[in-house]
Structure 1
Amino acid sequence: MDKVLSFHQGRLPLLVSMPHAGLKLTPAVRDGLVPAARSLPDTDWHIPRLYDFVRGMGASVVAAEYSRFVIDLNRPEDDQPLYVGATTGLFPATLFDGEPLFEHGKVPSAAERAGYLESIWRPYHDTLRNELARLKAEFGYALLWDAHSIRSHVPHLFDGKLPDFNLGTFNGASCDAELAERLKAVCAGALGYTHVLNGRFKGGHITRHYGDPAQDIHAVQLELAQSTYMEEVEPFTYREDLAEPTQGVLRGLLEEVLGWAQRRYN
């Protein structure tokens, strides 16, 4: 049976989602990619490794196996745009630099893409929904952390250099305002790093769809600049010297999420 995701069930009311970490390709996608896309440059590289401490903390973890070049798990199934201006869709047609993703005439067929929606997108979202429901039933609330990363310079998508930590709460709609402020404070206390709340990245479909503070489900997206933990050019090498201090900040953020919720609900 094709493995489309990995899932670990934890013991805390926290689920960490990694929708863009996958590297697998279907034959139709693999055979159609332009040469510049074959190294999968727009991947959220090494995110499972960077967050490898969260299982030890007791969090649940779900991570994609398939590349976003096959189907983007952080986009709605109706493919409505999430951002004004340059963006990518449920079935990406371009690289982050705006260049075509597929060779002319080699885009996967509508039938193939319908299959990706059913066999890859839907199981991931079923897992998210079911685990959040389980956490809420057990604890009375649920916490969702959507873990992403991106090159710090992508002129087609944003101007200049991206801040290191880009927190997104869909302009306050996906989590409690106090929690967002506490996360900003953690980032502000992380010497040598920059941060922003609801800047260029406000949270994608996962954050917007599942975050519901009125129902005690709090969702936060973190878009992390890849310069904080890896080389941003091929072969996209993981840099332990950069990653270790960044992991310290990530741990602090997740501990703040858990601590805030415990104080709020217990």
Structure 2
Amino acid sequence: MTTETFNIKVAGSMPYARLNTFIWDESEEMPKVKRPLIFMCPGGGYEMTSDREADPIALQFVAMGYNVAILRYSVAPAEYPVALNEAFYALKLIYKKSEEWSVDINKIYVQGCSAGGHLAASIGMFWHEDKELIKPAGMILCYPVITSGEFAHRGSFEALLKSCYTPEMLKRNSLELQVTENTPKAFIWHTYTDDCVPVENSLLLIQSMKKYDIPVEFHMYPQGGHGLSTCDELSMCPNGYGVQKECSSWLGLVKTWLRSED
């Protein structure tokens, strides 16, 4: 396994913006094969990028046999579209390195939790606006921020938009309104009792994707708060929060979903 860190710099980037990669090596025992890659966007309300939603999840995907790249994107006081531009820049870097890393660029899945789910879904909605980008193979969205409407996590949009917090920009970033035939398929999970980002965020996105007959696998768990990550002790907060064992099945379910898509 080779791990590297790459600085990510676009207009407005913060000094810490970076891409951390986990790339499978070839060896005499393990022949070189092209592998899919999971492009991860940790959550944090566009005010931070969560450690709990980074390496603990990344290592689960590595164990499944995937290459992984974690984008530590710029957050407030950086404002839209800096994080999205960083994501596009990072994806182009992955394309450039794809032969060296044995990455199948047609099998890059974007993954994100909470506000990171908003960024990952934004890639899914807007990738076609950049002619150098390839359609993601799919979106893996964990309790994502989606809507700027009635069920919005208002703080995420305030942190993301800052000086461009206008009706027009709120509409553009209300992603259930941005679904088109270009939107990739998705695996989504949420909890019914999420008291931070209401489950309606996922439901509204699914409803919009259904209108375009875009496949979605959705799992709604009856119990659990927000920001659960792996849902077990691996990503548990120091105060013990984050353990919801019945929700940890999402990792096995997404593995099955990915295998069926590969």
TM range (shorter): 0.3 to 0.5
Question: Relative contact order (C-alpha < 8 Å, sep 6+): which is higher?
Answer: 1
Structure with higher strand content: 2
Scaled by the length of structure 1, the TM-score of the pair is 0.41
Scaled by the length of structure 2, the TM-score of the pair is 0.42
